[in-house]
Structure 1
Amino acid sequence: MARPVEIRRAGAAEAPIVARLLHDFNAEFGEQTPTVEVLTELTRPLLEGGEILVFLAGEADGISLWRLRPSPWTGRPEAYLQELYVVPERRGEGRGRALLEATMAAAREAGATGIDLNTGETDAAARALYESAGFTNLEGPGGPRMLFYEREL
């Protein structure tokens, strides 16, 4: 029987670890990324102020970065899972699921009414994880496809 995955909340002192995981995530998927040093300086104050919430798995070999935002529809927060990443050599051991479950539990405890995320259409493993955890793709059968837009300001 596999040992349970240890999940812990990252504090500001762990900004270098958070930065390394975020850097490696972007690098793995061919995205531009600041250096680990720059990411450390960017994430430290966000962790200190609670503007981002981060869980680390195991020996810092997985990360969940999420945040809460107010909802004008319910008066309660909504959660947004911005990043979920497990280093390649530790995939398939339950770290992603443990991080996702910890994130959902913490969001629920904070009063969030829901949690949303986005993932690549071709990332079958991520889609399978999210769907097995009860997430629904907003593109219904024969329904309108929901699109995600962004732009630099």
Structure 2
Amino acid sequence: MNSRAEQPVVEGTEIRDLMPEDRQEWESLYRHYAEFYREPMNENILGRTWSWLMDAQHPLQGKVVAAVNGKLLALAHYRPFPEPLLGKDAGFLDDLFVLPEQRGGGLGRRLIDAVAQAGQEQGWPFLRWITAQGNAQARCLYDGLTQATAWVTYDLSLNDLGDA
């Protein structure tokens, strides 16, 4: 990853690992994230995802941008995934969300940089993520960081297959 440490620090914010006391603020952010992608959200999903994030044995990890007053402004969830062609784990950025009123100020870029740094520390050769085709604002950020791949993604709903 090239050095982007020169990025201006948004006054009064810090990027850090998600902590147990962040639960309420994290839930609010994650509900906004699900709403943005028009995905249903309920207490079971929130509880399960939170338990994964708080379990040191689970691969899902989380980082947040926190204001001095403790308000969370952005989140990132990421994890290792096996890359068989390389014979090692790489990184996958599952979720990245910045509150709409905070967008354009560099928080998304700083979160990606923080996840990339964590990935380097874990020995990942690369960090991968996907976004919606129409997510123009995020794609503008991502296009400034790296190139989109030539791979096309498919999701096969296993609920629709019936009993095998």
Under a length normalisation based on structure 2, what TM-score does the superposition of the two structures give? 0.77
* Structure 2: distance between partners of 1:97 and 1:5: 14
Counterpart for residue 54 of structure 1: 62
Structure 2 segments unaligned to the other structure (5+ residues): 1-7, 160-164
Question: Is 2:109 the counterpart of 1:97?
Answer: yes
Work out whether 1:146 is the aligned partner of 2:152.
yes
| Distance in 2, Cα, partners of 1:90 & 1:30 | 20
- Percent of counterpart pairs with the same letter? 22
| Higher relative strand content | 2
Number of the residue aligned with 1:84: 96
1:69-113 Cα shifts (integer Å, max 9, x gaps): 122222321111111000111111111111111111111111111
2:18 is matched with 10
SS in 2 for 1:32: coil
Pair 76,93 (structure 1): closer, same or farther in 2 beyond 3 Å: same
How far is the alpha carbon of 1:17 from its aligned partner?
Answer: 3.2
Residue type of the alignment partner of 1:94: G
Task: Give the superposed CA RMSD.
Answer: 2.1
Q: Structure 1 segments of 4 or more deviating over 6 A? A: none
State the Cα distance separating 1:43 from its structure 2 match.
2.2
Contact 1:19 1:39 in 2 (8 A): no
Q: Which amino acid aligns with 2:149?
A: L
Whether 1:112 aligns to 2:124 is yes
> Which residue of 47, 50, 54 maps to 1:44?
50
SS at match of 1:43: helix
The residue identity in structure 2 corresponding to 1:72 is: P
CA contact 1:54–1:65 (8 Å) conserved in 2: yes
Alignment match, 1:27: 35
Relative to structure 1, the CA distance from residue 84 to residue 21 in structure 2 (aligned partners, 3 Å threshold; closer, same or farther) is: same
**Structure 1 residue identity aligned to 2:157:** R
Ranges in structure 1 where 5+ consecutive residues have no aligned partner: 140-144
